[in-house]
Amino acid sequence: MAQKPRSTKPRSPPATAPRLGRALKRSFFDRSVHEVAPDLIGTTFLVDGVGGIITEVEAYHHSEPAAHSYRGPTPRNQVMFGPPGFSYVYRSYGIHWCVNFVCEQPGSASAVLIRALEPTHGLAAMRRRRGVEDERALCSGPGKLCEALGITIAHSELPLDRPPIALHARLEAPDIVAGVRIGITKAVDLPWRYGLKGSKFLSKRFPR
């Protein structure tokens, strides 16, 4: 007698991580921070294989007072004054780490703050590090995503195209929204925050 057609195959495997685009080279960052920042939306950012799709960033330029580089080089921000394509990690509010990608020519002192990701790779590691289950709470803020990816000051001043860091190009052009930056008290009106339109993985909604 024919058996019931119930599945003899193993349960469908866990959702596989999305296919990755080509690896980004350091030269990707050798452009205006205002071009690089929106171009980062939709790219995949991994640290030791853990990470996801960048959904939210902010641009900072030395010419405006919200930038750490505004008052010139210091021990903390000196990597911002160096060549593009390197990481800049700083301690925020004495508690969290935040990661930036340095852009433009040496001396331009501009960088993109990575503010949120859609987790796609290494979800178990992220949940363990963050101590929360909800996917939307893993990387929805600059401090949260550093905790989820294991980023500390040890990850500052590293090249963005070498392990442990990897960046992969987006496969399709995303719809991007812009707005004012979050958490700053100076130059508050510059619309230099960029986000993936409609994403559920933002630190905060973009006003319509």
Partner DNA sequence: CTAAGGATCTACT
Partner DNA sequence: GTAGATCCTTAGC
Q: Are 145 and 98 in contact (CB under 8 A)?
A: no
Give the end-to-end CA distance of the chain in Å, rounded to a whole number. 62
- The answer to whether residue 117 forms part of the interface with DNA (CB under 7 A) is no
DSSP secondary structure code for residue 159 in this structure: B
* Site for DNA contains 87 (CB under 7 A): no
Q: Return the beta strands (E) in the chain as ranges.
A: 44-47, 50-60, 87-92, 96-103, 110-121, 165-168, 176-179, 193-196
Binding residues for DNA, total number by CB under 7 A? 38
Q: Is 47 among the residues that bind DNA (CB under 7 A)?
A: no
Within 121-180, which residues bind DNA (CB under 7 A)? 130, 132, 137, 141-145
Among the listed ranges 13-21, 23-31, 89-97, 189-197, the one in contact with DNA (CB under 7 A) is 89-97
Q: Residue 88 corresponds to which amino acid?
A: Y
Question: How far is residue 121's CA from residue 186's CA, in Å, rounded to a whole number?
Answer: 35
Token pair in block for residue 100: 């930036």
Work out how close the CB of 100 gets to DNA at its nearest, in angstroms, rounded to a whole number.
6
Minimal distance in Å, beta carbon 197 to DNA?
A: 20
- Joined tokens for residue 78: 């000196």
Is residue 92 a contact point for DNA (CB under 7 A)?
yes
**Is residue 186 part of the contact set for DNA (CB under 7 A)?**
yes
Any contact of residue 187 with DNA (CB under 7 A)?
no
182 binds DNA (CB under 7 A): yes
Residue in 95, 133, 207, 208 binding DNA, rule: CB under 7 A: 95
Strands 176-179 and 193-196: antiparallel
Q: Which lies closer to DNA via its Cβ, residue 46 or residue 139?
A: 139
